[in-house]
Structure 1
Amino acid sequence: MVIVFVLVALLVLAVLVAANWYVWRRLFRDTTERPGPVRRAGAVLVAGGWVLAVGALVAERAGAPFPLQQVLAWPGFLWMALSIYLLLALLAGEAVRPLLRRLPERRAGGGAAAAEPRPEPVTVPEPSQPQPDPVAAPERQPSPSASEPPEPPHAVPDGPAPPAPSRRLFVSRVVAGAAAAAAVGTVGYGTYGVLRGPSVKRVTVPLAKLPRAAHGYRIVVVSDIHLGPVLGRGFAEKVVDTINATQPDLIAVVGDLVDGSVKDLGPAAAPLARLKARHGSYFVTGNHEYFSGAEQWVAEVRNLGLRPLENARTELPWFDLAGVNDVQGESEGHGPDFARALGDRDTTRACVLLAHQPVQIHEAVRHGVDLQLSGHTHGGQLWPGSLLAELANPTVAGLERYGDTQLYVSRGAGAWGPPTRVGAPSDITVIELAARDA
């Protein structure tokens, strides 16, 4: 097992090194004529960016001093996102590069044909004239007239004109510049989308067992806020204000609230105490809570007015609400326990389950759950990450049915790592329950 892990780690490292060498080559080596400061600066930028990125990840997971985490997080995580889209843009440029090389050739060919010089006429020499006698006095040349100005001296060039860059160098600079602009624009827009706060998404979910009196019941689902060294108290306030503006009947926080300890992030999470819902706010753990001190955070959210559902269930007026711990809790002996949360319930009542990861849907189906609410995937967060998320999750985002159980997966309100989303905008979802006979 250890050998397999080492081999996989070496393979990943080799791919990362090769990808970053390719980015440096296309951006800096191929756009310069000879070695010099530009190439050296490019090497420092690429290598230094990844040193900051790895440092940010290690500092967060190792619980380094929080100010150090903040210093490393912004440049390190943003470089991580930027390098992804630099690589993708440069790879796309490989398809354009041959076309750009041929285009000037065609133009030059047409121009050469149009501007082909005409043959000069052949001059026939005149018959030779008698040569003057060298002994004879030289013939007196007429002096220039005072009315005729002397011819100006010819300008002497300072030196040879600098050669124009080769076509290959010109094409490399065009492709590199376009790739850099595209990557910076993509990451900039994706970061702005996260920092401005999540949008509200509304989804209607019919439940066969829901009584008519509960038709239109609103559950706000928020997941993956990821308060940490990048997203702090100001972001939490935006999330709370957005949720309260929907006037929900119930609020479900389905995991990955934080990336850090209560000591460091307690003030950032404090705005959650302002959450308002007719039937209260509920919380279940996500995998990142177990990286951040799950027991302490469960106690903290309880102090903030949220009710943790640790493999537990509560009976609301028209349906049961249950919650299970995240699967990461198994490493601490606090994993999900569906039998404890759902085993003795009245199966004639509708049941809504809060479970952080979509993969828990299979247990939910076996226990007759009507609707599971999850997060975890971020919708992929950075395209084409959604393709990888599809391999690990039954549903990446949205509403799907598994037998008699429906699963809704939120893309999440925040972001992990880079504070950037591309192709997976953040959201807070208002689930409106619908009775079948309403």
Structure 2
Amino acid sequence: MVVVIVLVGIVVLALCLVVLALFGALHWYVWRRLVRDTTTAGSRGRRVGTAVVVAGPLLLVGSAVAELASAPLPFVRIIAWPGYLWGALFVYLLFALFVGEPVRLVLLRFGEKSVTVPVAAVASADSASELNALPDTAVRSQLAATADRMPRRVFVSRIVGGAAVAAAATTVGSGTYSVLDGPSVKHVAVPLAKLPRRADGFRITVVSDIHLGPILGRGFAERVVHTVNDTQPDLIAIVGDLVDGSVEHLRSAVEPLADLHARHGAFFVTGNHEYFSGAEQWIDHVQELGMHLLANARTELPGFDLAGVNDLQGERTGHGPDFGKALGDRDRSRTAVLLAHQPVLIDDAVAHGVDLQLSGHTHGGQIWPGNYLAGLVNPTVAGLERYGDTQLYVTRGAGAWGPPVRVGAPSDITVVELVSRQA
């Protein structure tokens, strides 16, 4: 047993070292293309650029460690904003630089070794500060006369690097605005064969992955509550990942959720992030806010059964999903709607005769091309799909995890309208 533990430890350590090496190598590549290739040694531009490329990953890693260590929220917030934004920016800088490599090679292959540029442009470059530092007036004058000749390598690197920075910054800026502006409202009609006529048109507003924490706080919670209430739902379903942090730190941030209103109330099931943030305390607190907890439980509503199961992450503490407890003894002639944070539980839902499963977790990928990665481990990344006699709807979620950025996966709150085929 001891040998197995040691071997596992060695493998984990080796994987961590490989990941760190790759992480460092990619940052070196970004530094080389954006800093070393565009500046001169010892210049102010190189010092500033190097400081940014070093500070960015340190803040990113520091933010994640500080959250896991439950550091004071104000401190986490200070380092999380620049740290997580660097993480998103870094991804798109890599993409842009990779795309720019062929262009860079072509431009370097053809043409003279140096390029004539406006003197004003050179004066703003690193050579200008070096030129002015020379003590001999005659030498400075002679250099100034020829300062409009820039090495082609530097010129091309600045053009390609500048385009990469502009593209990445625009993408991340737009994605950040998308998150902070709040989720849009989607409407989805779901026909259900067993739904009685009296339940036709029943409206469930589905909210997932709000991720209140050091980045998205009380103001964002208020925006979500306002959007949800404006849909005038019959029922609100909050399907996990409500928070990133402890009740102690986020009590004020979640307080607006007490103002959620629906004819049949708001129901909550845990997501994986609740188990990273003190699930037992949050389970108690969401009920204090007026939500109905469905922890492997079921309740009867007019025309259908509403059930909920705990998240898979709860298995670590013996509180994982229990479909038998939630659905085992129900009348299968009635329609069953299941709240389950992760879409991967669809096979269990099918086996227990669930008609509709409502899930989140994927964020729709959140940051392109994350949707392809999410598709590798989830049966459905976003939208409505059918599995046997069970339909699965996955919302992209209302907030964001990590970088407050969404690209190609806009946030949403979904109004699911149940449609009776008997109507």
Same fold, TM exceeding 0.5?
yes
Pick the aligned partner of 1:231 from 197, 200, 216.
216
Query: In structure 2, what is the equivalent of residue 159 of structure 1?
Result: 142
Pick the aligned partner of 1:88 from 83, 95, 103.
95
Stretch deviating more after TM superposition (76-85 or 247-256): 76-85
| Rounded Cα–Cα distance in structure 1 between residues aligned with 2:414 and 2:169 | 30
| Rounded Cα–Cα distance in structure 2 between residues aligned with 1:158 and 1:281 | 76
1:414 lines up with 2:406 in the alignment:
no
Query: In structure 2, what is the equivalent of residue 328 of structure 1?
Result: 313
Query: In structure 1, what is the equivalent of residue 47 of structure 2?
Result: 40
Counterpart mapping for 1:222-371 below 5 A: 222-371=207-356
Query: In structure 1, what is the equivalent of residue 20 of structure 2?
Result: 13
- TM-score by length of structure 1 reads 0.86
| Rounded Cα–Cα distance in structure 2 between residues aligned with 1:350 and 1:278 | 19
- Counterpart of 1:87, as a letter, is L
**Given that residues 33 and 169 in structure 1 are in contact (C-alpha distance below 8 angstroms), is that contact kept between their aligned partners in structure 2?**
no
1:177 lines up with 2:184 in the alignment:
no
Query: In structure 2, what is the equivalent of residue 397 of structure 1?
Result: 382
Give the CA deviation at 1:61. 1.1
Give the CA deviation at 1:14. 1.4
**Given that residues 40 and 46 in structure 2 are in contact (C-alpha distance below 8 angstroms), is that contact kept between their aligned partners in structure 1?**
no
| Rounded Cα–Cα distance in structure 2 between residues aligned with 1:233 and 1:34 | 46
Pick the aligned partner of 2:201 from 200, 216, 238.
216
Give the CA deviation at 1:99. 3.7
Give the CA deviation at 1:96. 1.9
Query: In structure 2, what is the equivalent of residue 124 of structure 1?
Result: none
Q: Deviations over 1:70-95 (max 9, x none)?
A: 11111111111111111111111112
Give the CA deviation at 1:36. 3.2
1:26 lines up with 2:33 in the alignment:
yes
Give the CA deviation at 1:388. 1.0
- Counterpart of 2:152, as a letter, is R
* Identity among equivalent pairs (%): 67
CA RMSD of aligned residues (A): 1.6
Give the CA deviation at 1:35. 4.4
Q: Which has the higher helix share?
A: 2
Q: Secondary structure at the match of 1:376?
A: coil
**Given that residues 377 and 397 in structure 1 are in contact (C-alpha distance below 8 angstroms), is that contact kept between their aligned partners in structure 2?**
yes
- Counterpart of 2:297, as a letter, is A
- Counterpart of 2:247, as a letter, is V
- Counterpart of 1:192, as a letter, is Y
Query: In structure 1, what is the equivalent of residue 182 of structure 2?
Result: 197
List gaps (5 residues or longer) in structure 1. 109-156
Query: In structure 1, what is the equivalent of residue 82 of structure 2?
Result: 75
Give the CA deviation at 1:102. 5.7
- Counterpart of 1:47, as a letter, is V
List gaps (5 residues or longer) in structure 2. 1-7, 116-139
Query: In structure 2, what is the equivalent of residue 147 of structure 1?
Result: none
1:57 lines up with 2:64 in the alignment:
yes
- TM-score by length of structure 2 reads 0.89
| Rounded Cα–Cα distance in structure 2 between residues aligned with 1:257 and 1:338 | 22
Give the CA deviation at 1:158. 4.0
- Counterpart of 1:251, as a letter, is I
Q: Bigger radius of gyration, 1 or 2?
A: 1
Q: Secondary structure at the match of 2:418?
A: strand
| Rounded Cα–Cα distance in structure 1 between residues aligned with 2:14 and 2:326 | 41
Q: Secondary structure at the match of 1:407?
A: strand
Give the CA deviation at 1:103. 6.6
Give the CA deviation at 1:221. 0.4
Query: In structure 1, what is the equivalent of residue 132 of structure 2?
Result: none
Give the CA deviation at 1:212. 1.4
